[in-house]
Amino acid sequence: MANNAELIAQCEAVAKTWLSPSFDEETRNAVQAMLDAEDKTALIDAFYQNLEFGTGGLRGIMGVGTNRMNKYIVGMATQGFANYVNKAFPGRKDLAVVVGHDCRNNGRDYAETVAAIFSANGIKAYLFESLRPTPEISFAIRQLGAQCGVNVTASHNPKEYNGYKAYWEDGAQVLAPHDKGIIDEVNKVKIEDVKFEANPDLIQIIGGEMDYDYMMAVKEGMVDQDVILRNKDLNIVYSAMHGTGRLLVPLCLRSWGFQNINVVPEQMVVDGNFPTVVSPNPENAEAMTLGMKLGTKLNADLVVATDPDADRLAIVCRNAKGEWQILNGNQTACMFYWYTIKNKKALNQLNPTDFMVKTIVTSELIAKIARANGVECFDEYTGFKWIAYRIRENEGKRKYIGGGEESFGYLPYDKVRDKDAPASICLICEIAAWAKDQGKTLFDLLLDIYKEYGFQKEAAISVTKPGKSGADEIKKMMEDFRATPPTEIAGQKVVTVKDYKSLKQVSNGVESDITMPTTANVLQWFTEDGMKISVRPSGTEPKIKFYCEVPVAGQFDGDYEKATALADAKIAEIKKSLGL
């Protein structure tokens, strides 16, 4: 990398613009040190590109440079966003933005910078008084009638990261044409264009009153309160993972009727360094260790956790041996869909216009459950903004009753337009209460689903390729897969290939069109025995992701370990077939 003279020269030219008086002394010194260093790797990684909006917005490692999260990148992004908002709503005098942040280092500073710049551009900024869950930011945009929103968060990423999620007036993260429009405006902005000086008259601090309204809205996700009242002593252990769920999740649970809520004290401490976990990601079993330890001590029924911005959840329940069993995102989503449909039907609350949504990389078992019960289930692109898109498309015509994705995100009601862990945790506790009514655990319900609809296992494989060279490698991998798609995977013939970039699919040699709202850099392969493998580059991290879905043939007999072992063997074959 350091020998690439043209790239080094390009990065040096950009870096030297960061030596101007527009940047503070600390930033200038850090940039100069990179320029002076013999090894130019750090310089290239910091300046070879500008951070761009992906499926989750703007996200990167904190530090100096155009490819890093810092107050200047936040400032230029915000100035471009403000310029776009002013152009999108010409003549409006009451424009407003909602600004929030999570527990991450520099989060408050970035959020105050965002509010200041919007206010300086004549847009009223509703700034949360302190850290708040991502879904509450989405809710507040709709509640206050704001035109846009910004949440400063890097979700579940490691402590080195921060990010910037941009929202539109429907409370969803921005989609085309707004995302492209914002990027175009951001790319025009020079540091000297940024209006950092706040207009205090256009900044309003919000907090408790919005918390109350949000909590009341969360209750709309409830299916059957009688179940909760009968099992109000359900023994729940909760971890906030050092983040924004610490206040609202216990309050929401109590508002639903649960009374036996125990928290993991070490992880209720707000700390952007996440001292008790390697990574604050609910997908990682290690992050749940302290919760399970407390759950064992208290003989809890289940352990639940939220990631730092409380949009995603993790669930640990007891298996038939009484041991802790971590549910994956697909299993959790299946349970949400299955319970919602089954019990709305039992309560005569299920209507022909009701619909649910999943993403294309999420379990096909969900679609199977919905189809069997006459509920339409839409398939959308990865990223919750696409689930929000489908809700918006059906607004006023059909009723949304739930939707989620494999990455531990779910939304059981429509007052929010992003993943909502507080509401989802309340609902999973309701499902656990219902299971208790039947003398069962959550895990027993999962086995019941497999017995009815068939067993399958899902696995997500991420290959990390950092820096400029990594981005090039990922691009080449996708190009190669397109040029020569596999004809066989794990000994099974590939019968259907879907390419969402060309919106074409070939099934048993017959080509047809795929109907989607736009294109996406995603490939899918379906085999004759029902396997589904999806591959896509991450929009927010230097990764290429493979999503494997492996059904196990025959009637599931309740032996989870045996079925899992069969699926694991097949997943190992898939990895070998794809050279992973």
Positions marked active-site: 155
In angstroms, the CA 551 to CA 572 distance is 14
In angstroms, the CA 215 to CA 132 distance is 13
Give the DSSP letter string of 437-452.
HTT--HHHHHHHHHHH
Give the DSSP letter string of 475-538.
HHHHHHHHHS--SEETTEEEEEEEETTTTEEEETTEEEE---SS--S-EEEEETTS-EEEEEE-
Output the CA–CA distances (angstroms, integers) from residue 506 to 482, 496, 500, in the order listed: 12, 6, 12
Go through 268-285 and write b for each residue having 16 or more CB atoms within 10 A of its CB, e for each that does not.
beebbebebbebbbbbee
- Angle at the Cα of 446 from the Cα atoms of 444 and 450, rounded to 5 degrees: 115
In angstroms, the CA 564 to CA 328 distance is 13
Q: Parallel, antiparallel, or unpaired for β 124-128 and 236-239? A: unpaired
Helical pair 364-372 and 442-453, crossing angle rounded to 10 deg = 80
In the numeric block, which tokens belong to residue 236? 């729940």
Mapped onto helix, strand or coil, the DSSP state of residue 96 is strand
Backbone angles phi, psi at 2, to 5 degrees: -70, -15
Percent helix, strand and coil across the chain, each rounded to 5?
40, 20, 35
Q: Parallel, antiparallel, or unpaired for β 376-380 and 399-405? A: unpaired
Helical pair 5-17 and 25-36, crossing angle rounded to 10 deg = 160
CB 334 within 8 A of CB 367: no
The secondary structure of 184-209, three-state, reads HHHHHCCHHHCCCCCCHHHEEEECHH
DSSP label of 553? P
In angstroms, the CA 85 to CA 186 distance is 12
In angstroms, the CA 65 to CA 51 distance is 10
Beta pairing partners, 58: 164
Beta pairing partners, 305: 239, 314
The position carrying tokens 């025995």 is 529
Output the CA–CA distances (angstroms, integers) from residue 172 to 176, 346, 415, in the order listed: 12, 32, 11
Backbone angles phi, psi at 314, to 5 degrees: -130, 150
